[in-house]
Chains A and B, each alone.
Chain A
Amino acid sequence: MTDLLRLATAGSVDDGKSTLVGRLLYDTKSVLADQMEAVERATHGGGDPDLSLLVDGLRSEREQGITIDVAYRYFATPRRSFVLADTPGHVQYTRNTVTGASTAQLAVLLVDARHGVVEQTRRHTAVMALLRVPRLVLAVNKIDLIDYDEATYLTIAKEFHEVAESLGYADDALVAIPVSARVGDNVVLPSERTPWYDGPTLLAHLEDVPVDGPDAEAPFRFPVQTVIRPRTADHPDYRGYAGLVGAGTARVGDPVVVLPDGQRTTIVGIDRFEGPQEVATAGESVVLRLADDLGVARGAVIAAAEDAPEPVTEFEATLAWLHEKPLVPGRRLLVKHGTHTVQAMITEVRDRLDVQTLERAPDPDGLEINDIGHVAITVAEPLPLDDYERVAATGAFLVIDPQAGDTLAAGMRM
């Protein structure tokens, strides 16, 4: 059995991130001959193929030599499959880092060994910490350009640990690996040129690291997506609630509460196409049957009866503002939480995080694209919001423009 690890990459411009991702794909033999031929044709001036060309997507990007959005890459080893969200590293693109981080179980941050931990490394680490990405890897790239100098690597690794630990990471969630994406040192194959380094290669670490999935130990949370009522001859009275278990574990017989209304009932069945089952855990798409017909509809959250969030109409949250249109307090907006979209208003912007200094500036006028800030929100209907740090699946929400329909911000109750 192989499992799946979702990871994100982030780095500054010219840290060699495209080359690193290309190297991972190339050395895991995830690049097929026709893709490689295209790269060889496109490599300027002959010589070794430019692996960064493997991951440059759109023609408009190639012409301008930039990466403009998150791209997803796939590679696999006999032990594990990987979905990699490749996020660009421009100064302004907090938006893409947030997007990539929102689904990542691990993030690979890049630094150039010649420059070490820079402002952007701090910002990326802060975003990963904010989104609660469970594990971080620092790839100390271009180690060949500092003559494989151990002391420089140790200095960078120490500074990275200090930054990440100050943002809440435990020591065992962090690894710094000296690599050269261009040459291939310690990416997939161990390097003989770093005899002082006895840790894993990047790929070996990605294969070995525990997968932190949606938390099966968290309290049960189940946003209802749709009601299954076949009304067919075989199933005249069947009524089930379809959804993806966002957090926790449910067993047949468990007491639950239907939110936001708060009625209590019991799970009497957990169904899948293959048949009934006794248990459903975080990450599984199932259908629940309940003991009582409570008129449950899309938008409800079925939660563990003994540990359920209190539905609220006013709450505070951290927003990552993703849209060119700035936040103006008082405007009518929409919030999508789980499977429920409600009218909302951001009543106050309490502070804005300066991503250069990581200091919080109080009472800003609003938020602009790539800003992160703490706000007060009022919603028209009560939402069963969890604290994001405790239950991410029901602590997260989107802020949506009701007219244009665009996603304006990523929200986390905290």
Chain B
Amino acid sequence: MSAVSVDFQTSSVSDATSLTPPHDQLDALESEAIHVMREVAGEFDRPVILFSGGKDSMLLVHLARKAFWPAPVPFPVLHVDTGHNFDEVIAFRDAVVERYGLTLEVASVQDYIDDGRLSERADGTRNPLQTTPLLDAIAEHRHDAVFGGGRRDEERARAKERIFSLRTAFGAWEPSRQRPELWNLYNGRHKPGEHVRVFPLSNWTELDVWRYIAREGIELPSIYYAHTRDVFARDGMWLTSGAWGGARDGEEVVTKTVRYRTVGDGSCTGAVESDATSLDEVLAEVRGSRLTERGATRADDRLSEAAMEDRKKEGYF
């Protein structure tokens, strides 16, 4: 596979300085997210940002840069690497890490499969396998707070998630143990071995994310924009071939103009047909979409009606 070039456009924080009260919704959401990140910096010893190179995690890095400027981002970033990556995304991840002087930790699902600690699922999907390497990495680095880009608008089980989400030593989310969150007073106390997952983007919607990316000029991996790609249809989604395999018998490979709305494990992340090559065009498309981003592009969330609820209880995000 040829090297993928990452084109960093001149980073400009466009128009954000023309802030006039009353603040608009993006200013309010940004201030809330920055407040959450600073609380974590103040109350935890070893926080880490979950970072896949996808748009939500890129947003976290951008907000962390803003929260602590002019000091550098005080947290390392952790990538749970399923081994089924889009090359463009890995190149982008590495470029971001270098550009902002971040420390990258990688938890590799492939390593676990290679030495037998995990075995490949029959369907080849690796997203459900991320939980064990994630929890091991949290334990190994003794992370007591883990930032995720999860949003409450994504899925029904996430609508009940807290901004500070307490996890057991096994990473498990216990709905009945979640603390009430009052005002903006977050309670991050936890016992040794437990940790807290923190979701600064809880109150953002998919449209807020894209509007903010456009306003701030945040760079994203190129696969978020329309490009031509060989794809095949499975479960009502356009999947692409890669290290994870390709079309099976009876699945016809066709060339389409597509883009991705989410970036996850290559084996189960579907592309959507799209001509949106610019941020403005993506914004227009998100505004007009009739499907949630997870419903459109994540096979793993279709496993069952309560797929996310079950995976959260196991320690997934």
Write out the residue numbers on chain B whose beta carbons fall within 8 Å of the beta carbon of A272: 66, 69
Can you list, as one digit per residue, whether each of A391-411 has a CB less than 8 Å from chain B (1) or not (0)? 011001110100001110010
Question: CB < 8 Å: which of A76, A102, A243, A273 contacts B183?
Answer: A102
Write out the residue numbers on chain A whose beta carbons fall within 8 Å of the beta carbon of B295: 32-35
Check if A102 sits within 8 Å of B70, measured CB to CB. Answer: no
Residue A414 at the chain B interface, CB threshold 8 Å: no
Check if B175 sits within 8 Å of A60, measured CB to CB. Answer: yes
Residue A57 at the chain B interface, CB threshold 8 Å: yes
Check if A225 sits within 8 Å of B25, measured CB to CB. Answer: no
Question: Of all chain A residues, which has the CB nearest B159?
Answer: A71
Question: Of all chain B residues, which has the CB nearest A276?
Answer: B17
Write out the residue numbers on chain A whose beta carbons fall within 8 Å of the beta carbon of B290: 32-33
Q: What is the interface of chain A mostly: helix, strand, loop, or mixed? A: mixed
Question: Of all chain A residues, which has the CB nearest B74?
Answer: A226
Residue A83 at the chain B interface, CB threshold 8 Å: yes
Question: Of all chain B residues, which has the CB nearest A5?
Answer: B25
Check if A407 sits within 8 Å of B182, measured CB to CB. Answer: yes
A325 to chain B, nearest CB (A): 13
Question: Of all chain A residues, which has the CB nearest B294?
Answer: A34
Question: CB < 8 Å: which of B41, B70, B180, B185 contacts A226?
Answer: B41
A226 to chain B, nearest CB (A): 5
Tell me, in angstroms, the Cα distance from A346 to B16 when the chains sit together: 46
User: Interface residues of B, CB < 8 Å — how many?
Assistant: 64
A281 to chain B, nearest CB (A): 5
Residue A142 at the chain B interface, CB threshold 8 Å: no
Q: B157-203: which have CB < 8 Å to A?
A: 157, 159-160, 166, 175-176, 178-185, 187, 189-191, 202-203
Question: CB < 8 Å: which of B180, B185, B292 contacts A34?
Answer: B292
Check if B34 sits within 8 Å of A285, measured CB to CB. Answer: yes
Check if A225 sits within 8 Å of B65, measured CB to CB. Answer: no
Tell me, in angstroms, the Cα distance from A95 to B178 when the chains sit together: 13
Question: CB < 8 Å: which of A70, A81, A211, A336 contacts B187?
Answer: A336
B69 to chain A, nearest CB (A): 4
Residue A14 at the chain B interface, CB threshold 8 Å: no
Check if A225 sits within 8 Å of B38, measured CB to CB. Answer: yes
Residue A331 at the chain B interface, CB threshold 8 Å: no
Write out the residue numbers on chain B whose beta carbons fall within 8 Å of the beta carbon of A72: 152, 159-160, 202-203
Write out the residue numbers on chain A whose beta carbons fall within 8 Å of the beta carbon of B184: 103, 244
Residue A283 at the chain B interface, CB threshold 8 Å: yes
Residue A229 at the chain B interface, CB threshold 8 Å: yes
